[in-house]
Every structure is written in structure tokens, then in C-alpha cells.
Structure 1
């Protein structure tokens, strides 16, 4: 099993432990700094090896991600919503650029059949990625064996990897835990920007990563994870604004579960005449090459 499924649920379980350790009064701060690290550290180590399969239990759920990154005057901003439901499972991901409304990529993997679908927004069709907006291709043979490879949770998995890596490198990364007024619990962790970059929370081009020097690498990205009273995840937010090495960085990544999914959250596939068929790996590779060129242009 890959590292990512473990990481995201290490966080989830760690937070459950934070919220379960005593019934703090509404708004009561829990331990901070070194005390917070001691508060959760021992239990963290006890549970880390038992969570590899936990991510597969999160079914029939919808979620959303708002992702914003700015480096000097260059910026990207996107919104991702996704849904997974049923047994066997159907999955859909909708990716929208909030900078260019024609930059759309949706993916749909129905439970039945041997193919999955991609819907391309006008920008990609105009740039010749596909002659039609809809494309079909064979389903991956491995299915959802590695859950964090699925686009609906890829970025939050990388956020979780970054938070766990920060904790492993320095337990003082856990800066505070607080019981909120409505019974929820919030945990704050400082993640070095260098860890954020290495885990590709945002996939940055070499033209930017080459400018990340020692000052930016050490800059901290405060990460806040909020839980319901029952320990379920409410939201996972990384947000920071800082400078260093002659550059300015601003970022905000907010992931949250938004409700119960159903088949009505899945898109309706058009008539076959409106779908470009990619029959094999060679055709898929060529499609992704053109897609990459369009995204980089």
C-alpha cells in the first residue's frame, strides 16, 4: 500500500484521539506547542501502523477542494468537487479553473462497464486535445486499489502527507489543539513550505521551484484540521502568506466533506457519436501528451 492512504487517515485518527481525550468545555484551548506534541504523540505512534485500509471505508460521500497558489505575480486558482457512491463504486470528479472558466476537466468512472470518461472544457477542445468534448478510455486494471490516486482526494492526501512528514521531522510542529464552541475540535500543525513543495500539494514548474531558496523553504504553512464531535473530519485547511529569497508566496487549500453522495451526483454520458474513443494505452498516452501541452501553453 502506498504512503498516502496511511497518511490521511493517520491524521484522521490522531484527531479523533485529540477530540476524545477528555470532554473539554466549549472554546477551551487544549495543550499547545511542546505540550500538544506530548498530548498526541504517544497515541499517534500506537495507531500509525493500523490505518492502511481505513480510507476505503469513506463511501457514499461528496467533497470539495478550493486550491489557490500565488508566487509573485503568477497564480492559479481551482475548485474541485467529487462524489463516490455505490458497491461497486461509481466516481466523478469535476475540476474547474477559477482563473479561466473554459478550463474544465471532469472524469467519470461508472461502476458498470469497462470504460471511464473524461469531459473537456472549450479551451482543451479548441487547442486540439480531442475533436469532441467527451473522451472514453479503458478503466485502470487496478481499479481503486490505491485510493489516493483518485483525483477526488489526491490533493488532500498530499496535504496529509505534508502534515505527517512535518510531525515526523519535528513533533513540535503540532502547535495547538482547541475545543470549539459547537463541540468541534481544531488541531493546528506548522508545515514547512519545503515539505509542501516536495509533496506536490501544488505541482509547481521548475521555473518556480528553482527560485525557492533557504528562506522560503523554512517558511511555515499553518494547517488547521477541524473535527466533528464524533471525530469525523469537517475541514482540512492549509493557509499562509509569507516572503523570502526576494519572492512573495500566498496559498490557501481548503478540503471538506460536503454530504452524502448518490447516483444523481454522477454525470449523464452523451450519445456514442459525441464521444472520442481511446481504445488502448498508446491512444491514451497521446491524449495525455496533448493535454499536457495544452495545460502548459
Structure 2
């Protein structure tokens, strides 16, 4: 759904009502309906914020974005950063990945309509080929879909998790809205167990049995950020989840729109002499297994 200017003004009016009425004190002879009015205004503002979030990815344009993922659970500490550029239609796509704040980036480039993706290997995975680049069958061989793009994939699955939580635990799901210096933000939430099923909470398979039922049934806050034009600028899933004897689980998943991607952001197609083509199915499976391993063995 495209958010109109009228809708934007309405959202700010609703946020204002929620903040003003929520702080009002009942006076003599005044109906004590302020709390109900504030709750409805807040719920309407949250709904419109979620609509703007969904609309951004339904009408996904040229975008430069970053996704930061952090997890701390017992002895497991995971940090991953992804950056993406999408330009044109059919799009040219660049995705970058690194496993630490000062780590080396890998980079995947898909020219418009290309049947292959070109992957520039980072330092930790350079042993996977005798050349700086490999080519693999493109993820977009059957056409571009927003939720295939790795950064947008995180947003799509957060949206699914919010929707499922509204069905499974509506009373536990936050509904908050507030004005900010840059626009406003709304807070809703998603069940940890649902986000785990959707793959956006990356607890290793061998540790999932350590998560207790109270932890899986915890709703983690999701804050959606919008600018003063009611345009989506990012979201954050962030919380510390405890339950029983299990270690505390700390998670942070943040999506940030960095601006509009341009052709100047795109690399050149590497020379053939710099590329190792991987086409065999077994070789591809082995490549992806090691390429996605944070500490691959040679």
C-alpha cells in the first residue's frame, strides 16, 4: 500500500494525540476516556508505521542498505554485517559480507540479467579458488525478487515474524509510537521462537536445545524507524532473553537504509583470467558450505 501525504499527516496527528492524551490528567466533569483514546491513536500509528515498512519492500527501489546481526549465547558470539546495492530494472546487485567490524569483505556482483554471480573472495575464504573471484549460477537466474536479496530477506522475515506473533501472542506484542528528531518510530514485537523458525535469529543448531520454552515464548521488541516524510529508514530487533537455567541470549538485528544506490557504486565485471567458474552440483555444495563457514578449514 502506498502511503499518501494525507496518511502521513494523519500518522503524525495520531502520534501527537497518543503522546498528548496519554499524558493528560482527568479533570472534574471530564470523561475519563483519555486512556482509550490514546490507546487507539497509538495502535493506529503503529499500524501505519508497519504499513510504511511493508510498502517500502513491496515497492522496492534502488537502495543502498546495511544489515548488522549480533548474537551472544553462552560461548557463542556472532557478529555479521551485510551491505547491499540494488540499481536499475532489471537490477544490478552487489552484496558484501564480513564477520567482524574490522574483517575483510567478500563481495558478490550480479550484472543485470546475468546468469552468473561473481564472488570476490575475502581473506578467510581465498583458499577456495586459485583466483580472486569465482562465478556461480546466479541467485536471480529466474528473475529478481526482493526477498531473495539478503538484506531485504531479513526484513521480509521480520515482517512475517511480526504477523505470526500478532496471531500467536497478541496480548504480549508491544504497540508503541513516539516522535523523534528525524521523524518517528513505532515498536511492535516478535516471538523468539518464530524468529528462530524464520532464520533471523542465528542460534547454532547444536545449541537450540538449550533454549527453554519461556525463552521461545518471549516477545522481543521490534522498532521500525521512519523519517519526517513517513518513509521507512530502518528497523531494529533487540533484546536480552532469559529463562530457567539457560544462558542469557542477547540479540540485535538492525536494518539501515543508507541512501539510493547508483551505477557508480557497481564494480566492473572481473577479467576471465581472475575467475574460477563453479558449475558442478557437488562442487557448488562444497563451495557454499565452506564459504558460509565463519572459520572454514582448508
Partner residue of 2:19 out of 28, 33, 39: 28
Query: Measured at CA, do residues 224 and 42 of structure 1 come closer, stay the same or move farther in structure 2, by a change above 3 Å?
Result: closer
TM-score (norm 2): 0.78
The question of whether the paired residues in 2 share the 8 Å contact of 1:81 and 1:94 is answered with: yes
Shift of 1:199: 1.4
Aligned-pair Cα RMSD in Å = 3.4
Query: Measured at CA, do residues 110 and 207 of structure 1 come closer, stay the same or move farther in structure 2, by a change above 3 Å?
Result: same
Shift of 1:27: 9.5
| 1:1-16 → structure 2 map (5 Å cutoff) | none
Query: Measured at CA, do residues 77 and 19 of structure 1 come closer, stay the same or move farther in structure 2, by a change above 3 Å?
Result: farther
The question of whether the paired residues in 1 share the 8 Å contact of 2:131 and 2:275 is answered with: yes
The question of whether the paired residues in 2 share the 8 Å contact of 1:221 and 1:238 is answered with: yes
The aligned residue for residue 63 of structure 1 is 65
5+ residue gaps, structure 1: 1-8
The aligned residue for residue 240 of structure 2 is 241
The question of whether the paired residues in 2 share the 8 Å contact of 1:133 and 1:275 is answered with: yes
Query: Measured at CA, do residues 76 and 89 of structure 1 come closer, stay the same or move farther in structure 2, by a change above 3 Å?
Result: same
Structure with more relative contact order (C-alpha pairs < 8 Å, separation 6 or more): 1
The aligned residue for residue 143 of structure 2 is 143
The question of whether the paired residues in 2 share the 8 Å contact of 1:27 and 1:179 is answered with: no
Q: Which structure: greater strand fraction?
A: 1
| 1:116-265 → structure 2 map (5 Å cutoff) | 116-126=117-127, 129-139=128-138, 140-144=140-144, 146-172=145-171, 173-182=173-182, 184-246=183-245, 247-265=247-265
Shift of 1:150: 1.6
The question of whether the paired residues in 1 share the 8 Å contact of 2:64 and 2:257 is answered with: yes
C-alpha separation in 1, matches of 2:8 and 2:168: 20
C-alpha separation in 2, matches of 1:274 and 1:35: 60
C-alpha separation in 1, matches of 2:281 and 2:81: 29
TM-score (norm 1): 0.78
C-alpha separation in 2, matches of 1:282 and 1:111: 27
Q: Which string of whole-angstrom CA distances, capped at 9 and with x for unpartnered residues, describes residues 265-284 of structure 1?
A: 11233321111012454543
The question of whether the paired residues in 1 share the 8 Å contact of 2:124 and 2:296 is answered with: no
The structure with the larger Rg is: 2
The question of whether the paired residues in 2 share the 8 Å contact of 1:37 and 1:171 is answered with: no
5+ residue gaps, structure 2: 23-34
Matched pairs, number: 275
Shift of 1:105: 3.0
